[in-house]
Structure 1
Amino acid sequence: MRVINQFSARPAMDGDGVNIRRVADFNNTRFDPFLMLDEIKSDDKQDFIGGFPPHPHRGIETFTYIKKGGFEHRDQLGNVKAIRAKDVQWMSTGSGVIHSEMPLADADEGLHGFQIWVNMPANQKMRPARYEDSSETANPESTNDKGALLRALAGNWAFTGQSSISAPIQDLAGEAAIADLMLSPEAMAELQLDRHEFVGLYLYEGTLIGNNDAQSSDNTLPNDYSAGTYLILDSQDLLKLQAGPDGAGLLLFAGQPIKEKIVHMGPFVMNTQAEIEQTIKDYQEGRFGEIPL
């Protein structure tokens, strides 16, 4: 693999005092069509018990993936769903949603999960909202003979030379695809992702050992990577990954950049400042609706 750029997740707080690690780029949109990744990982309830009370979104898609524990999702469309380990949830917010995500009362073993924001093209930002999850359809998995397990979360994925697996959720903006790749100690995996213009990964645990051909664009980035690292990769180069002695877990991202200027304010991502101001007005005047009691 050839690394184009490297980022580190930064400590942050969101919702009602939830401690997270975040990687985001709203100014330069270098993750296009992706905008942001939040990771929640703690065995201490005080880090996440406040959850994410009702809040709005417009102009983006939110994609939630749970590794451990769970959330209860509620929205103004009437959806009420428990999202647990291995589940994903997708909200294409379009013209607007109000939703909440609160830790499940029976999730006593901590919480580990991710929320990913995907941008929407201008001509879709005001269409009706959509909701899907995988609570009733398991996300498919594939293994290779080198100690790797690939779980498709959105879109289609395959190890090099193997059959493709297709996640239940397929229609993310920017043809975005997301997968969870779990590597045993010193395991290896190869994927060919050259059909996508953007490819990135987020290492959430363990260590990745660089291959001999793993070079950054300016030859200054290291070849070994630790948890909390986000890499932008050359999509035309074969993705060759090897875990360190403690194994590795990483999220893979692929898609087609939307290549539109955006304006971001809190939970809203639009294309102009005037659209942001209209969004705030619509929300303040109650046009997003309310979550049913």
Structure 2
Amino acid sequence: MSIRPVLETRKARPTMEGAGVHLHRAFGFQDPTELDPFLLFDDFRNDHPDFYRDGFPWHPHRGIETITYVLAGTVEHADSLGNRGRLGAGSVQWMTAGSGILHQEMPLGNKHGQMHGFQLWGNLPGAQKMTAPRYQDIAGAEIPEVTDDDGTHVRVITGEFWGKKGPVDGIAADPQYLDITVPAGVKKTFRIDTYRRAFAYVFDGAGKFADASKPQGVLLEKEVRGREVNIRDLSGDRTLIRFGTGDEVTVQAGPQGVRFLLISGAPIEEPVAWHGPIVMNTQAELQQAMRDLKNGTFIKPAH
């Protein structure tokens, strides 16, 4: 077994999208090979409805998949195929845009005005970029959960983990998407397929991610369970951790524990031509998508 080294740790940056939604972007619109097959990751979290209520009005997608995971509040969605629905807390929507879809996503806070969710964009290989659009809406109660003896808790959104299989299926990158909580002071190792690109995103508490050849931080005898790392070594809220190759990821939880997403997928390793919400393989395909949008042929008839 080999522990994956940490290639980079960086904070998500504040930005605005849609009709003025304030969010934090961990990666996106830069080097598409960095976390291939994943293109973008946003954390939309706010306690002020004025900063999210105008949402993401009607807009197109082609050539990608968008994955929306809601933690607090709800998101109403509608699309050009006539689908409508509402994602509640704990639920997931996996949308395969394929040949093209127009949709809107409108965040609605909970009774306290809080809204929190994540959106991940996954690329599609060239052979599947013009496939028929598809939605998978998964209620929170349908997502399997497992708790280890040390209190580590995992929600399995996609892929297989600890004997559980996530309900989202048929995804091109065959991803593993886990929501993991590790209790205070616990050091934990998680298996990841060697051939996948992987990243973690911390959104609650803090923890230390490192490979076995590097120091795990200064141990403080009187801290939580006598096994806590030096606070200066911890990755906290809204931190992206990008891993190198290996088949395991290890984390040492901080004084308040740590909760993070652990996401991995098989790289596609194809050329990327990218403009906003449309991602193709060539500039010619991208230009065709723009012409389709302009002349009203963006939405392809079902076969």
TM-score (norm 2): 0.86
Larger Rg: 2
Question: Which position in structure 2 is the counterpart of 1:5?
Answer: 8
3-state SS of paired residue (1:29)? coil
Q: Structure 1 residues 39-48 or 182-191, which shifts more?
A: 182-191
Residues 99, 299 of structure 2: 8 Å contact kept: no
Report sequence identity in percent: 36
Return the alpha-carbon distance in structure 2 between the equivalents of residues 212 and 115 of structure 1. 28
Match of 1:48 among 11, 28, 52: 52
Question: Which position in structure 1 is the counterpart of 2:118?
Answer: 114
Match of 2:22 among 8, 19, 24: 19
Q: List aligned pairs for 1:53-202, cutoff 5 A.
A: 53-104=57-108, 108-135=112-139, 138-158=142-162, 164-202=163-201
Q: Measured at CA, do residues 182 and 105 of structure 1 come closer, stay the same or move farther in structure 2, by a change above 3 Å?
A: closer
**Which amino acid is the alignment partner of residue 240 of structure 1?**
T
Q: Does 1:239 align with 2:245?
A: no
Q: Does 1:205 align with 2:209?
A: no
Number of equivalent positions: 280
3-state SS of paired residue (2:271)? coil
Return the alpha-carbon distance in structure 1 between the equivalents of residues 24 and 121 of structure 2. 14
Residues 211, 250 of structure 2: 8 Å contact kept: no
Q: Structure 1 residues 4-13 or 64-73, which shifts more?
A: 4-13
Deviations 1:150-170 (A, max 9, x none): 001112122xxxxx2111102
Q: Measured at CA, do residues 140 and 235 of structure 1 come closer, stay the same or move farther in structure 2, by a change above 3 Å?
A: farther
Q: Measured at CA, do residues 8 and 28 of structure 1 come closer, stay the same or move farther in structure 2, by a change above 3 Å?
A: same
3-state SS of paired residue (2:142)? coil
TM-score (norm 1): 0.89
3-state SS of paired residue (2:292)? helix
Q: Tell me the CA shift for residue 210 of structure 1.
A: 4.2
Return the alpha-carbon distance in structure 2 between the equivalents of residues 5 and 106 of structure 1. 34
Return the alpha-carbon distance in structure 2 between the equivalents of residues 82 and 157 of structure 1. 27
Q: Structure 1 residues 16-25 or 91-100, which shifts more?
A: 16-25
Q: Measured at CA, do residues 22 and 265 of structure 1 come closer, stay the same or move farther in structure 2, by a change above 3 Å?
A: same
5+ residue gaps, structure 2, are: 216-231
Q: Does 1:257 align with 2:267?
A: yes
**Which amino acid is the alignment partner of residue 196 of structure 2?**
E
Q: Tell me the CA shift for residue 236 of structure 1.
A: 1.7
3-state SS of paired residue (2:263)? strand
Query: What is the CA RMSD across the aligned residues, in angstroms?
Result: 2.1
Q: Measured at CA, do residues 28 and 182 of structure 1 come closer, stay the same or move farther in structure 2, by a change above 3 Å?
A: same
Question: Which position in structure 2 is the counterpart of 1:219?
Answer: none
Question: Which position in structure 2 is the counterpart of 1:161?
Answer: none
Q: Structure 1 residues 51-60 or 23-32, which shifts more?
A: 23-32
Question: Which position in structure 2 is the counterpart of 1:288?
Answer: 298
Match of 2:278 among 243, 268, 275: 268
Return the alpha-carbon distance in structure 1 between the equivalents of residues 151 and 193 of structure 2. 23
Q: Measured at CA, do residues 273 and 68 of structure 1 come closer, stay the same or move farther in structure 2, by a change above 3 Å?
A: same
Residues 94, 128 of structure 1: 8 Å contact kept: yes
